[in-house]
Structure 1
Amino acid sequence: MKVLKFGGTSVGSAKNILKVITIIKNISQDSDVVVVVSAVGGITDKLLNAANKAVIKDRSYKELFKQIQLIHLDIIEDLIPSEIKSAEVKKMINKRLDTLEKLLEGIYLINELSPKTTDKLLSNGEQMSSFIISEAMKLHGINAELKNSQELVVTDTNYTNATVNFNATNKNIKQYFETHNNSVTLLPGFISKSENGEITTLGRGGSDYTAAIIASALDAKELQIWTDVSGMFTTNPKLVKQAKPISHISYQEAVELSHFGAKVLYPPTVQPVLDKKIPIVIKNTLKPDDFGTYITNSYSNGTTSAVKGISNINDIALLTLQGNGMVGIPGFSKRLFETLSQEKINVILITQASSEHSICIGIQESDAETARAAVNKTFENEISLHKIDPINIEKGLAIVAVVGDRMKNHQGISGRMFSTLGKNNVNIRAIAQGASERNISTVISKKDVKKALNVLHERFFETKTKQLNLFITGVGNVGERLVEQIKQQKKYIKERLKLNLRVVGLSNSRKMILDDDAIDLKNWKALLENGEAASIEGFFEGAKNMNLRNSVFVDVTANHDVANSYANYLRESIGVIACNKIACSSDFDNYNLLKRLSVKYNAPFLFETNVGAGLPVIDTLNHLVASGDEIHSIQAVLSGSLNFVFNNFDNSKKFHDVVKLAQNEGYTEPDPRIDLSGVDVARKILILARESGTEMNLEDITNQSFLSVSGLASNSVDEFYKTLLEDDAHYQSLYNSAAKNNYQLKYVAEFNDGKAKVGIKEIPEGHPFYNLEGKDNIVMFYTKRYPEQPMIIKGAGAGAEVTASGLFADIIRIANS
């Protein structure tokens, strides 16, 4: 014999009920079947809501009643096509609905809703659904007998959560099935009667419990729980898209996961079948061919995975009893738990340090204030004598638990768990782990639950692929190419580097878009154009509130305000990749602050493209310093823009025309004064000096500008271009001075003995800078290990494509960190 239980969603519509009937018909061909059904999906909540409105004299309870009535009558209409039969079924249901309506009216009139009345009210849901389904089954050729569970399941009078009298219940079940040999028996779940004949219910998960009680009493071959998901999942699939069904799991693992929020199974369900070692199968009514989850006594089940699942409970409050007067004094724990027990407050988690200075317990947040008042009253004397502190309660918390029978045989599970949470700035408020090591529980902020489940699931179940969530601001020339490079390489990166790059935020100066499901890069321009108004603060708040794991903010602007937001991102453990040079060349204290925040919050801060675009200049420098080398001197041509200008300038061209060409080719900023003034180069050598270990600010760098006086004084781009024409003789003289000695003009940055300068220099033939072509950059590091022949890095140092590739390289560095 098999016992099948179908939940509310499984019987929530005529369409689904037909699926249930097909499943029952198929299974009953090979085995006798007992079917336990819940109320129609949502009806129990509607009944309770209607009663709660009635008791406070809110006449809108009548509207809820009408909804309940309409739902059932519509199901009958769709499920039973025969007018005569449909009318008969409707007549029976309307009788029960009339009784229900009178009960609600009575609650309204007397302003009282006792637990006893609540059970009478709620029992109607299962009674109606089971009757409708039994009549539909007959029409489909299944000779099912409907049996009222209240005649079988005997309980005490703890209304709304009655305790089963198993001696009487098992006797009733066995006697009934010994005398009724039906291939299919249908029973309403959840409902029961007390020893004195009063209607009771079995509480949360009651229909599952009914099915387990029946299965145990009959020594069933299998208990099948049919629901709307294909088994127990590795974690909550609504929060973690990569969650997958668990094919096999032990009873103990199932209990742990169900206790910590796995909604497809409730802990009491397991107990009646556990001793009998009856397998439990979780199946999907909507996808009956899916394998589902098999719950058995064995935890091996053909898998060596240490962690079977990750679960959580939200709306937790952490209650802390602490004080020096507790140390070495027995009885505090006993009094604390007795107090909570008297208030019927369930303790979900307990942790106590060996110092005995404090006890922390996790309870439902709804019980927090009741607990505070009761515990403070119990320890009133000790509090008044300052032996202990008044009870401390923290709200807005959640419990995340990692579960698995095999965890006790694997070292490092807790270490991997805590380090993974720490790397993503998920603060742990309390920890509990039993000696069985089957469950490691942590208390965290409720706002971090989604991130915690995702990072832990990635760590324990998706070790082959790491997800990186990118927030990119500044999708202009360079930013657009970065997005296109990510789109082009996304598949390759995932297959070869096991890295899932997701762009979840995009912004330009006008519009922004945020999507935690990832932005479709095939259509990103149109999506951005239809996005909301851009806001630096709004973009940050969006990234913060999305609270995604492995988040990275990528700044592809030259905006001061954006650069000033880096600290906000780092404090939220969101990594920062900066193409923008402003932050790293700002006041040294700010630069140092960003470095410290990066370390404190474990948030990478990379800015390779600040110097040399896509060239690995900063990365090389950092490796030199980290390996113990000492930087003696740096000589560099760091402006691809200026190098392009001077490589194309001679006495046959006006300097104005060459600068204009460089701008049109995209080698200068829209305002070429930024490049030609030397400030940009000064920022770059400043960054290299700082990365070498020197404390220095921008004003400490000598800037020997080659621009004319009027060029330096210009107030606009147009005015600047006019000065280039007017002062052409000045620029021609610079060229002629170098040309007469066959020298090349290069704008050079130098760092020696803790001092730095930038300026134009005449470079002789044979010097490494002499043949530097196009927009190329070159950096020479003279160090303790390279005192005479420097470490040289050379290549394209400007251009949207190479700069975007440098940003892409930083993204990969963060992913591999």
Structure 2
Amino acid sequence: MKVLKFGGTSVGSVSSILNLQKIVEKEAKRQPVIVVVSALSGITDQLIATSQLALKGDEGWRLEFDTMVERHHKMIDAIITDPHDREVLFKKVDSLFEQLHSIYYGVFLIHDLSHKTEDTIVSYGERLSSNIVATLIRGAKWFDAREFIKTEEKQGKRSLDSELTNKLVSDTFEDLSRISLVPGFIAQDRESGDITNLGRGGSDYTAAILAASLSAEVLEIWTDVDGFMTADPRVIKGAYTINELSYAEAMELCNFGAKVVYPPTIYPVCVKNIPIKIKNTFNPEGQGTVIKSYVENNQKPIKGISSIKGTTLITVTGLSMVGVVGVNRRIFSSLANNGISVFLVSQAASENNTSIGVKDEDAANAVKVLNEEFRLEIEDGRMFPMYAESGLATVAIVGENMKRTSGISGKLFGALGRSGISIIAIAQGASEMNISFVVKGSDLRKSLNVLHDSFFLSEYKVLNLFICGIGTVGGKLIEQIKSQYEELKLNSNLKLKVVGIASSKNAIFDRDGLNLDNYREELKESEPSTPEHLRDAILNMNIFNSVFVDCTASRDIAALYQSLLENNISVIAANKIAASSAYENYYRLKQTALLRGVKFRFETNVGAGLPIIGTINDLRNSGDKILKIEAVLSGTLNFIFNEIGADIPFSETVRRAKEQGYSEPDPRIDLSGTDVVRKLVILTREAGYKVEQEDVEKHLFVPDDYFQGSVEDFWKRLPALDADFEQRRQKLSNEGKRWRFVATMEYGKTNVALREVSANHPFYNLEGSNNIVLLTTDRYKEYPMQIQGYGAGASVTAAGVFANIMSIANI
């Protein structure tokens, strides 16, 4: 025998109630079933709302009542095809509505709504729906739950009379019909005979009572979801159905916001070791979730994440609490006596304060009650008035395997800390099955996503990217991300989700990820943006695992890094301005990233995709000391001095460097050595020396006055240098030498200069726009370490930025 319970959404529409019919009739062919149904979706709330209108003397109650009548009539017309059955059912339903109308009218006349009357009113939802379903399913026998579900009042609270109820259920269902139909939720007081109920969600409880009393094979709860989810799917797109849960895990998730099962449901069937199966009326073929005593192959440390919005944390504090027996008893007794539920408790080991979590709507009353309870202690200064902080949220991670897995708390706090989420309070039971903590309400979405990702509940790890700059480098980067997206999902379980793209004038954002096929068109149609707007939009999204990628050369964009890092957003910069700016600014950015547990990466600032900065860091981290750096760091200048010849004058090589995308938009930045100076400063700092751009000694090859005026003037004047360069080049060629613009650092002293190198020098055969770096260290003194390769171009720079992104993804 099975017990099947169908919730409000399962009887809320014509299609869902017909699905219910198919499910029940299919199951009844195998074995007897007891079917428990809720009121039509939304009806219980409407019954209560209508009673409040009547209580206020508002004539609007009549309209609400008529709406309920019409909805039930339409349902009957749509699903009951037999004329005789329909007529009989209409009489039953209309009789119930006549009774309900009389009750409402009485409330309207005398302006009084007792608990007894309210309980009677809300009972009509299930009485109506169960009669409709009993008529729809041929052969179903309707039972009145009031005859066997009995309650009693203890200490002002209503509870189930388990002993009497179990006896009456056994007697009632001694001879099981093929299909028994029972209204959920409704009960009756054992003494007075008044209509009572089992509380909101009580239809689940009704079904559990029946299943336990009759030792059912299984209790199936049919609802509008596929089962328990790893997290709220409205918040976490990657949340999925948990196939199996233990009773204890399910109870913890239910108590912390998972609305799949009414919490009291679990206990009666748990005692009898009867499994609970959660199924979806709209997807009956789905696997669903099974709740049972023991879960095999339970590998993951946590099963799910649940949360409670609208949390208020009340702190009870005072020196008089230390070592005093009975303080906590007074706290919880006074709250319980006033009907205030506490769902989280956190106490300092010093005992001088206790924090309790309550719902926002209970906060004011809780503060009032506790201030009154400790009035004398507050008056003489032994305790402080209650402090309440609202607008918070409580998150719980749940799983029986946590008690057998070390480091869960460390991983939890580390993941949240790296995302800039502060924990306000924490509670963990000795069972280690539930770790609960309180955060700001604004951080709830971010917290859930961080934890879902960190504990491998998500199918994929997600990195959320904000890309600024869609020029040559940024455009190539987006192309590379797009082309590698599926490959990374398949082989690395990684989703690179671009959630923001900004050009110099516009910006677009989408938390779920932007379409990389038409982002340029979207940008053109978007609202104008400024660096400040870009920063604010990113911070307001408050999205987890965020990385800001700067593919610009903008000083204003570089100025955003500090704020982004302070808000736990990693920064990857192809832009050299920040790392080569004033040393104090560089140092502060590095320290902020270190303290916040995020990354500030700028590998492509020097050598495009070459692993120069990373190698220097690795050498230093292993205990080596960088003594000297000699490098050709400008792909543009190396291209120019490799191209120059008898038939290609100096001015033409500069023009070719610009046309082929090697130089900066303004080639004077390259020719002035500014770009190389920045790169040398960055390498020197990464090597462990304090240096400013002004400290670099410069020996340039283009007169200073060429760097004045406009770019157009520069291009006009540049050919005037060709004759001198050609004369010098011929002399150099005759000597078997070549020009290289070399950056040098030796024991912290820096200079850049155009040097003549002979054929036996490592720089002599450097081709095209390649870069080369020689590192002399304590370990590499006699034979310096050499790093050489393609050091310019949009594709390799974008690839280097991509490598930085992947280094963060793999942490």
- TM-score category of the 2 structures, normalised to the smaller one: over 0.9
Indicate if the aligned counterparts of 1:146 and 1:187 stay in contact, CA closer than 8 A: yes
The equivalent of 1:409 in structure 2 is 404
Q: Residue 722 and residue 56 in structure 1: after superposition, are their counterparts in 2 closer, same or farther (change >3 A)? A: farther
Given candidates 594, 603, 607, the residue that maps to 1:608 is 603
Deviation at 1:273, TM superposition (A): 2.0
The equivalent of 1:242 in structure 2 is 238
Indicate if the aligned counterparts of 1:161 and 1:204 stay in contact, CA closer than 8 A: no
Deviation at 1:115, TM superposition (A): 3.4
Deviation at 1:667, TM superposition (A): 1.1
Q: Deviations over 1:273-327 (max 9, x none)?
A: 2222222111111111222222222x24343444333222222122211222221
Give the residue type in structure 1 aligned to 2:694. Answer: E
Deviation at 1:40, TM superposition (A): 1.2
Task: State the secondary structure of the residue aligned to 1:130.
Answer: helix
Give the residue type in structure 1 aligned to 2:421. Answer: V
Indicate if the aligned counterparts of 1:119 and 1:159 stay in contact, CA closer than 8 A: no
Indicate if the aligned counterparts of 2:38 and 2:203 stay in contact, CA closer than 8 A: yes
Q: Deviations over 1:787-806 (max 9, x none)?
A: 23211111111101000000
The equivalent of 1:136 in structure 2 is 136
Deviation at 1:225, TM superposition (A): 0.6
Indicate if the aligned counterparts of 1:159 and 1:201 stay in contact, CA closer than 8 A: no
Indicate if the aligned counterparts of 1:315 and 1:395 stay in contact, CA closer than 8 A: yes
Task: State the secondary structure of the residue aligned to 2:455.
Answer: helix
**Cα separation, 2, equivalents of 1:460 and 1:503:** 22
Q: Higher mean Cα deviation, 650-659 or 577-586?
A: 650-659
Question: How well do the aligned residues superpose, as a CA RMSD in angstroms?
Answer: 2.6
Given candidates 688, 693, 707, the residue that maps to 2:683 is 688
Given candidates 164, 171, 191, the residue that maps to 2:167 is 171
**Cα separation, 1, equivalents of 2:102 and 2:421:** 52
Task: State the secondary structure of the residue aligned to 1:78.
Answer: helix
Given candidates 274, 288, 292, the residue that maps to 2:270 is 274
Task: State the secondary structure of the residue aligned to 1:9.
Answer: helix
**Cα separation, 1, equivalents of 2:48 and 2:711:** 72
**Cα separation, 2, equivalents of 1:464 and 1:146:** 45
Task: State the secondary structure of the residue aligned to 2:776.
Answer: strand
Indicate if the aligned counterparts of 1:481 and 1:801 stay in contact, CA closer than 8 A: yes
Q: Residue 406 and residue 710 in structure 1: after superposition, are their counterparts in 2 closer, same or farther (change >3 A)? A: closer
Given candidates 177, 182, 185, the residue that maps to 2:177 is 182
Task: State the secondary structure of the residue aligned to 1:231.
Answer: coil
Q: How many residues align?
A: 810
Whether 1:585 aligns to 2:560 is: no
Give the residue type in structure 2 aligned to 1:37. Answer: V
Task: State the secondary structure of the residue aligned to 1:347.
Answer: coil
Q: Residue 803 and residue 64 in structure 1: after superposition, are their counterparts in 2 closer, same or farther (change >3 A)? A: farther
Task: State the secondary structure of the residue aligned to 1:621.
Answer: helix
* 1:460-539 alignment runs, 5 A limit: 460-462=455-457, 465-539=460-534
**Cα separation, 2, equivalents of 1:314 and 1:464:** 26
Indicate if the aligned counterparts of 1:119 and 1:160 stay in contact, CA closer than 8 A: no
The equivalent of 2:639 in structure 1 is 644
Whether 1:119 aligns to 2:119 is: yes
Indicate if the aligned counterparts of 2:319 and 2:383 stay in contact, CA closer than 8 A: yes
Q: Residue 463 and residue 91 in structure 1: after superposition, are their counterparts in 2 closer, same or farther (change >3 A)? A: closer
Q: Residue 511 and residue 90 in structure 1: after superposition, are their counterparts in 2 closer, same or farther (change >3 A)? A: farther
The equivalent of 2:806 in structure 1 is 812
* 1:353-752 alignment runs, 5 A limit: 353-462=348-457, 465-714=460-709, 716-729=710-723, 731-732=725-726, 735=729, 738-739=732-733, 741-752=735-746
Give the residue type in structure 2 aligned to 1:132. Answer: I
Given candidates 774, 782, 799, the residue that maps to 2:768 is 774
Given candidates 208, 214, 221, the residue that maps to 1:212 is 208
Deviation at 1:85, TM superposition (A): 4.9
Task: State the secondary structure of the residue aligned to 2:159.
Answer: coil
User: Which segments of 5 or more consecutive residues in structure 1 lack a partner in the other structure?
Assistant: none
Q: Deviations over 1:382-406 (max 9, x none)?
A: 2233222222222222222222233
**Cα separation, 2, equivalents of 1:564 and 1:347:** 46
User: Which segments of 5 or more consecutive residues in structure 2 lack a partner in the other structure?
Assistant: none
Give the residue type in structure 1 aligned to 2:225. Answer: V
Q: How high is the TM-score relative to the length of structure 2?
A: 0.94
Q: Higher mean Cα deviation, 184-193 or 169-178?
A: 169-178
Whether 1:201 aligns to 2:201 is: no
Deviation at 1:415, TM superposition (A): 2.9
**Cα separation, 1, equivalents of 2:97 and 2:618:** 78
Indicate if the aligned counterparts of 2:230 and 2:457 stay in contact, CA closer than 8 A: no
Q: Residue 760 and residue 93 in structure 1: after superposition, are their counterparts in 2 closer, same or farther (change >3 A)? A: farther
* 1:6-25 alignment runs, 5 A limit: 6-25=6-25
The equivalent of 2:795 in structure 1 is 801
Q: Deviations over 1:666-696 (max 9, x none)?
A: 1122222222222111111111111111122
**Cα separation, 1, equivalents of 2:94 and 2:533:** 55
**Cα separation, 2, equivalents of 1:476 and 1:108:** 71
Deviation at 1:596, TM superposition (A): 1.2
Indicate if the aligned counterparts of 1:641 and 1:798 stay in contact, CA closer than 8 A: yes
Task: State the secondary structure of the residue aligned to 1:475.
Answer: coil
The equivalent of 1:73 in structure 2 is 73
**Cα separation, 2, equivalents of 1:584 and 1:59:** 71
Give the residue type in structure 2 aligned to 1:792. Answer: Q
Indicate if the aligned counterparts of 2:238 and 2:458 stay in contact, CA closer than 8 A: no
Deviation at 1:753, TM superposition (A): 2.8
Q: Residue 308 and residue 117 in structure 1: after superposition, are their counterparts in 2 closer, same or farther (change >3 A)? A: same
Whether 1:792 aligns to 2:786 is: yes
**Cα separation, 1, equivalents of 2:713 and 2:418:** 51
**Cα separation, 2, equivalents of 1:696 and 1:104:** 83
Q: Residue 302 and residue 109 in structure 1: after superposition, are their counterparts in 2 closer, same or farther (change >3 A)? A: same
Deviation at 1:478, TM superposition (A): 0.9
Task: State the secondary structure of the residue aligned to 1:10.
Answer: helix
Q: Deviations over 1:705-730 (max 9, x none)?
A: 3323431112x221221221355445
Q: Deviations over 1:172-211 (max 9, x none)?
A: 3233223x64211111111222231322222121110111
Q: Deviations over 1:358-391 (max 9, x none)?
A: 1121111221121112212222222233222222
The equivalent of 1:323 in structure 2 is 318
Deviation at 1:65, TM superposition (A): 4.3
Whether 1:758 aligns to 2:752 is: yes
